[in-house]
Structure 1
Amino acid sequence: MAISRRGLLAAGAGTAAGLALSGTARAATTGSVGFRLDAVTLDGGEQVVSVTLDTARLAPHSVSTGTFSVHATATSPIADPGGYDLDRPVTAARVDHRGNIVLDLGYAEGQVGGGTLGYLGSRGRNVRLDLDYTITQNAPLPTRNGPVTIPAFVQGRLANPEVDAFSHHISRSGLKYRLFSPPRRGRRPLIVWLHGGGEGASLPDGYYDNETTLRANRGALGFATPQAQQIFGGAYVVAPQSTSYWMADGDRFAPLIREIIAEVCARRAVDPDRIYVAGCSNGGYMSLKMTAVYRSLFAASVPVCGVVAGDPPLIPDAELAAIGTPTWLIASRDDDTVDPGANSVHAHELIPRSLLTLYDQVVWNGHRFPGHWSWIYLARNDPAVHGTHIWQWMARRR
């Protein structure tokens, strides 16, 4: 007899105590057990990779992949579909050093069933899905006090240590942002990450989460990794979230982003000579816009697959030619969303002394991504010129 309780439902009596053991022996029934969803942000978006059951008080001494089953239901918080309803395969099971049971779940780049976000095509937005996980106990749990069955499981929080390291903030003008603060004392550089079009708010739906900027890709997270932090000597990383698209009104958003930078500088020990801006797609445009408007604010700029072309141009040639900030552009030749020739290559030809890395395609760890996703390379410090990689190049700029 299987024991199944959906996350967030109250614990209750039932058939749990009737799960058969050998002969006439019965497993003891314990109280409800909470569990946490453990997630990581992959290059293609955040996925739940394991669940951790709060079983330390039960003192389990072993667990197998067949002891528990996991089912996931995900629904969109706004109108469009985009969720899923499926079993998550348990690929490994173990008892950690605290006595909690960890069930590793199958996941991979491009796998929909583990994702925490849904892309709503009609809005052009990623939104955080409402996740409802069900844990089913299929066999008694061996513990120090004998076999145990669990009558109910209560779903807890979604935990992603990299995302959770960024604090939540809102500017005086109402623009939300997330901030990573390094542990080191003294004045440190500030890296401004400007997200792509899919990570903004959907205000007509009342959706403004301050979450998808960190969960949809590793753009901001890359700069908060130990590797990047070592190269920059400890750096603040700020990730504002647009209320729409940066490209919708760059002239209005530029001073709002500037306000956030000023707030962070006023509240944290930021070195004003080491403020860097980087962004992808919509944010690639906005990083160029910021250096066109604020010509002496940034030590370096890294626009990735950014947009400058249009009718009229989003950033006129004269403004590109007047940018004095050291600039390193990144794009992929197979980008079928933003034409690299008319945008990144064109900007490179006009911005004085700018650098350009143009990939043939976007491949990482053997997985081929859409050509538009060239920000993956920046998040991994891959672009290099004459042996100098891009994070090191940024860190040396003043």
Structure 2
Amino acid sequence: MPISRRTVLAAGAGAAATLALPREASAGTAVGFTLDAVTLDGGEQVVAITLDTRRLGPIDPAGLTTSTFSVHAKATSPLPLAPGEQILSEYDLDRPVTAARLDHRGNIVLELSHAEGQVGGGTLGYLTGRGRNVRLDLVYTITQNAPLARRHGGPVRISRFTQGRLVNPEVDAFSYHTSGSGMKYRLFAADRRKRPLIVWLHGGGEGASLPDDYYDNETTLRANRGALGFATGAGQRIFGGAHVVAPQSTSYWLADGPHFAPRIQEIVRDVVRRHDVDRRRVYVAGCSNGGYMSLEMTNVYRDTYAASVPVCGVVTSVLTDAELAAVRTPTWLVASRDDDTVDPGANTVHAHDLIPGSRMTLYDNVVRNGYQFPGHWSWIYVARNDPSINGTHIWQWMAQQRR
């Protein structure tokens, strides 16, 4: 016979037992969730969702499957587009759930399909007309397809899902700051013992867009792993602990390097003053626009930096041969031969030929874990401590330099 929610069963001679089948709990069961992100070599992606289900009671993990929940994601530009302008990487699609599990707090974690170059999941969009990465407006919609089994009590359906913040532990480890001149920067602070300082200068796409009043102090850490690499456990071990600072330009470093140089130097002085920085071990590195700017800093402030790592940097028309020849800071240049954005011969090789004692690593292309990136993205190799000469990798070389 069909079993109702309350059924009387025979339980021996003349006795009766009542079996109460659990009712589904749903009314008023609202749950918040976070978007869990990771900055991949090609930029930040949302790789999982964490549902705050702790207060629902112990969830039975055996009842969780990849079809228990469905996830839809929509990403749109935070800024209105100019006529004819496009924003790359907008999306409106379902995100496949690849795993469903409980974390150590009892929250449900939905792992999402993601990969380098995969459409959907990215947190940044590129405005073609302005040459800027901007943080996309993300709206995630979760649908529960089956009730959740609990170890104690009946099954439960969630009545409402509320989206919370974007969580990226590596990015969140950098605090927000603004210098006296108004330049924003992010800072990873090591412990209070005397530590070196690494200055990371971003590429052209990570600056502000002040005509739109867009100055987010975000994209420098979400667009690539340039600054993040030095703050990893591996980077910190090599440098013996290091502060890492990432200023954000109000436009392009290339637009007016001599104007930006003292503003960057102001940030360096401020960090040195507020933290116990080893002044003999201040390093500067940067990619593309930032590759130029790292050379500009060692050209203008010749007594500050112990080493410089310009990656796929612009040299032609912004630094004279005499200025390059006058650089005395130990310098290691990096680029890829297939860079079709900044000609490596006219820039990286040319700078290497002029800077006394400089080192250079030229790759044929930019490939990481089997995925080929644009040739301009050679900063990926520096962020992973890949360049090496005679068995010495670039981070170890930097860490050895003293002013």
Aligned residue type for 1:280:
C
Tell me the distance in 1 between the aligned counterparts of 2:253 and 2:295: 11
Tell me the distance in 1 between the aligned counterparts of 2:80 and 2:275: 40
Match of 1:57 among 55, 58, 68: 55
User: Aligned runs of 1:32-47 on 2, under 5 Å?
Assistant: 32-47=30-45
Secondary structure, counterpart of 1:126 in structure 2: strand
Match of 1:256 in 2: 263
Tell me the distance in 1 between the aligned counterparts of 2:41 and 2:103: 27
- 1:112 CA displacement: 2.6
User: Aligned runs of 1:41-120 on 2, under 5 Å?
Assistant: 41-58=39-56, 59-62=58-61, 63-80=64-81, 81-82=87-88, 83-120=90-127
Match of 1:210 in 2: 217
Match of 2:24 in 1: 27
TM-score w.r.t. structure 2 length? 0.91
Say yes or no: does 1:354 pair with 2:358: yes
Match of 2:186 in 1: 178
Match of 2:8 in 1: none
Structure 1 residues without counterparts, runs of 5 or longer: 1-21
Aligned residue type for 1:53:
L
Residue-by-residue CA offset, 1:368-394 (whole Å, 9 max, x unaligned)? 000000000000000001100000000
**Structure whose CA Rg is larger:** 2
- 1:79 CA displacement: 1.9
Aligned residue type for 1:166:
F
Secondary structure, counterpart of 1:60 in structure 2: coil
Structure 2 residues without counterparts, runs of 5 or longer: 6-20, 82-86
Secondary structure, counterpart of 2:230 in structure 1: helix
Secondary structure, counterpart of 1:343 in structure 2: helix
Tell me the distance in 1 between the aligned counterparts of 2:213 and 2:156: 45
Tell me the distance in 2 between the aligned counterparts of 1:23 and 1:208: 61
Say yes or no: does 1:383 pair with 2:387: yes
Say yes or no: does 1:342 pair with 2:378: no
Secondary structure, counterpart of 1:97 in structure 2: coil
Aligned residue type for 2:385:
N
Match of 2:10 in 1: none
Match of 1:12 in 2: none
TM-score w.r.t. structure 1 length? 0.92
Residue-by-residue CA offset, 1:339-377 (whole Å, 9 max, x unaligned)? 000000000000000000000000011110000000000
Secondary structure, counterpart of 2:281 in structure 1: strand
- 1:197 CA displacement: 0.2
Residue-by-residue CA offset, 1:312-345 (whole Å, 9 max, x unaligned)? x200000000000000000000000000000000
Secondary structure, counterpart of 2:280 in structure 1: strand
Tell me the distance in 1 between the aligned counterparts of 2:329 and 2:270: 22
Match of 1:320 in 2: 324
Secondary structure, counterpart of 1:220 in structure 2: helix
Tell me the distance in 2 between the aligned counterparts of 1:23 and 1:91: 35
Which range is displaced more, 138-147 or 223-232?
Answer: 138-147
- 1:148 CA displacement: 0.3
